[in-house]
Chain A
C-alpha cells in the first residue's frame, strides 16, 4: 500500500526548540506520520535485530524445558516436586502469586493511570498490557498443575454434570478460579480493544499480502469513523473503570487464599492491601526490566523518555514502602498479639532454617530499593534496570518466605518438616520465565509495542484549534 500512497509529510522528526518545564512524554518534533512510521516499521519494514533471534532462541529453549517438565509431571505426578506434608504448596503457589502480581502493573498502567489522566502511560501501556496477559498465562499454569490431575481441572467450573456435584463456593480457592479467569479475560479484551485501531494502521501500511490479510481480519474493518471512535472511547473508559476494581480484587482474592486460613503468619488482615501493593511493586519492576532493554534495542528513546523511567521508579518507591510497612506490621503484631504461635513464627522466620531467605528478602525488597530516593538513580537506565531485577528477586523471596516458613512449622511440633525444592521445581520456574519472554519477543515482532493512535493523540498538532478564531 505504501507504494501507491505517497507520504506527504516527512517521516523524520524536525528539530524543535528546547522547552522548559518537566521532560516531555514524547520527544519534540514528531508528527502523526513520524510516530506512525517509527512504531509500525518495527513490525513491518525494519530488519529484525540479531539480538531478537538470540533472545528469542534462549527463551524458546527455556520454554521447551517447561513443556518437558510438564510432560514429566503429567507422567509421574506432583511427587517430582519437593512438596510434601507439611509444605504442600511449595514453588507452585510461590510462582503463581509472583506471576499474577507481575501482571498487575500492566492493568494499573493501562486502567488506573488512564482514569487519572497521566499522559506518560501512553507509550508504555501496550507492552505492559501484553506483559499482564503473558504473566497471567504463566500464573494460571501453576495452580492447574498443582491440583495433580490437571485434565480434571474443569471440575472447578460450575456446570451440570452426571456426578451431581457442584463447587464449594465458600472456599477461597474457588474464588481464585473466578478471579483469575475473569482477570485473564478482561485483560485480553482490554488489550485487544486497544489494538484494533493500530491493527488497521498495520493493515493499511503492510506491503506483504499475508500482512494485509491477517491484520485486516484482526482489525475487523476498522475505518476510524467519528461514530466508531465515540463508542470506542466510551467502551475503553468503561473497561478501564471496570479493570481498576478488578485488579485490586484479584490480588485481594489471592491473599485470601492465605488470610482465610488459620496458619500462623497467614491469618492476618494486612494481607490484602499489602499483597496489592506488592503486586504493583513487582509489576513495575518487571515493566522496567522489559522497557529498558527494548528502548535501547529499538531506539525508542523519543517515546520512552527519562520522565517515564522517573515516574515508574517513583511508583516502585511508594509501593515498596507500603510493602516494607507490611513487613513491619507483620513483625509488630506477631509480638503484640501475645499469641505464642505467631511469636514463634516470626522468630523462626528471622532465625530459623530459612532465615537467610528472610534477610535476603529484607535486603532486596526494603534496603536496596531505598536508592530510588536519588533522582540520579531514577533517571539512569542501567542502575534502574539492575534495581528492577533485584526487586523481581525480592518479590519472589517474599512469597517463598510467606509460603514456606509459615507452613513448615505450625502448631504441632510433631508435624514440623523441611521443604527442599527439586530440580523439577526450578525447571518449571525458569521454564515459565522462558515462556513469558518468548511470548514477549513474539509480541514485539508482530504487533506494535507502543499504542500508535494514542501517541498521535498526545502530539501538539492533534489539538483542534479554537474554531471562532478561524
Chain B
C-alpha cells in the first residue's frame, strides 16, 4: 500500500445518470484502479460488479447468529426446566422439548436479525462521524439525484493529472479534488 497523499484524499467525478456512473466504474477498473468507491442515491446492482467488489460475508454472520440464538434459546430452557428449577407439570418429562420450540424459534430470529443489522453496520464501518467525501459541497446531492465516483489518492496508479484526465474522459460532469 502506497502512503496516502497528505493534501488530497482523491478525485471525485460527478455524473448525471446511473448508466454513466456504471460505465465509468467499469472503465476505471479496466484502467487498473482499485482504491475507489462509487456513491449513488439508491442501490445499483450493476455497480457492485462494475467495481469488482467481493461478495459480502454478511449472510454467514447472520447464519452464525441464528445458530447461536437457536442453541442458546433451547439450552437455556433445558437448563432452567430440567436442572435449575425442575417442576412437575402434569407428569410431563422435565425436558418437554416440544413446549420449548416457540421460544427457541423466537430466539433464533432475534439473534439472526440482530446480527444482520449489527453485522451490516460493523462491516460498513458505521457510524462514521467524519469522512473526506463530505468535503465536496456538491456531494450533498449524492442523497438526491447525483452519482459520484471517487478514485482515492492511495491507489498505486493514482496521478493527479492523469487520473483527472481519465475521469473527464468518462463524460463526468465535473471532477473535484477531495480534501482529506
Contact = CB atoms under 8 A, between A and B. Distances in A.
Contact of A231 (B80, B107, B120): B120
Contacts of B33: none
B126 to A, nearest CB: 5
B32 to A, nearest CB: 18
B126 A226 contact: no
B156 interface: no
B131 A182 contact: no
B58 A238 contact: yes
B51 interface: yes
Q: For the complex of A and B, list the 6 residue pairs with the smallest distance between their C-beta atoms, beginning with the closest.
A: A32-B145, A221-B128, A220-B127, A235-B120, A229-B43, A166-B85
Interface stretch (A47-55, A83-91, A361-369, A458-466): A458-466
A167 to B, nearest CB: 7
A113 to B, nearest CB: 18
24 contacts: A1-B140, A4-B137, A5-B137, A166-B85, A169-B77, A169-B81, A169-B99, A170-B81, A170-B89, A170-B92, A172-B102, A174-B103, A175-B102, A179-B106, A182-B110, A185-B113, A186-B113, A220-B126, A226-B39, A229-B47, A230-B43, A235-B120, A238-B58, A462-B18
Contacts of B107: 178, 182
B120 A189 contact: no
Contacts of A166: 80-81, 84-85
Nearest to A245: B109
Given A226-B37, A457-B43, A200 B58 contact: no
A221 B80 contact: no
What's the interface size class on A, roughly?
35 or more
Interface in A199-231: 200-201, 203-205, 220-231
Contact of A201 (B117, B129, B144): B144
Interface in B3-61: 17-19, 22-23, 25-26, 37-48, 51, 53, 56, 58-59
Interface in B57-83: 58-59, 62, 76-77, 80-81
B123 to A, nearest CB: 5
B83 to A, nearest CB: 10
Contacts of A16: none
Interface in B138-156: 138-145
A184 to B, nearest CB: 10
A170 B93 CA distance: 11
A242 B107 CA distance: 12
B42 A453 contact: yes
Contacts of B76: 158
Given A33-B145, A456-B41, 4 more contacts: A7-B144, A164-B85, A185-B110, A457-B43
Contact of B144 (A193, A204, A222, A249): A204
Given A170-B99, A226-B48, A249 B41 contact: no
A224 B140 CA distance: 11
Give the residue among B56, B99, B100, B145 with the most A Cβ atoms within 10 A: B145
B165 interface: no
B42 A457 contact: yes
B112 interface: yes
Contacts of A249: 102, 105-106, 109
Contacts of B109: 182, 186, 242-243, 245-246, 249
A223 B137 contact: no
Interface of A: 1, 4-5, 7-9, 31-33, 36, 158, 164-170, 172, 174-175, 178-179, 182, 185-186, 189-190, 192-193, 197, 200-201, 203-205, 220-235, 238-239, 242-243, 245-246, 249, 253, 256, 453-454, 456-457, 461-465, 467, 470
Contact of B120 (A32, A172, A193, A246): A193
A200 B40 CA distance: 12
Interface range for B: 35 or more
Nearest to A260: B99
A224 B143 contact: yes
A378 to B, nearest CB: 31
A224 B113 contact: no
Nearest to A239: B116
A223 B137 CA distance: 13
A391 B144 CA distance: 39
B145 A36 contact: yes
Nearest to A222: B126
A464 B22 contact: yes
A402 to B, nearest CB: 20
Contacts of B46: 464, 467
Given A170-B92, A185-B113, A189-B114, A464 B18 contact: yes
A235 B145 contact: no
A175 B102 CA distance: 6
Contacts of A238: 58-59, 62, 112, 116
Contacts of B117: 189, 192-193, 235, 239
A65 B88 CA distance: 44
Question: Which of A203, A234, A465: most chain B Cβ within 10 A?
Answer: A234
A224 B139 CA distance: 10
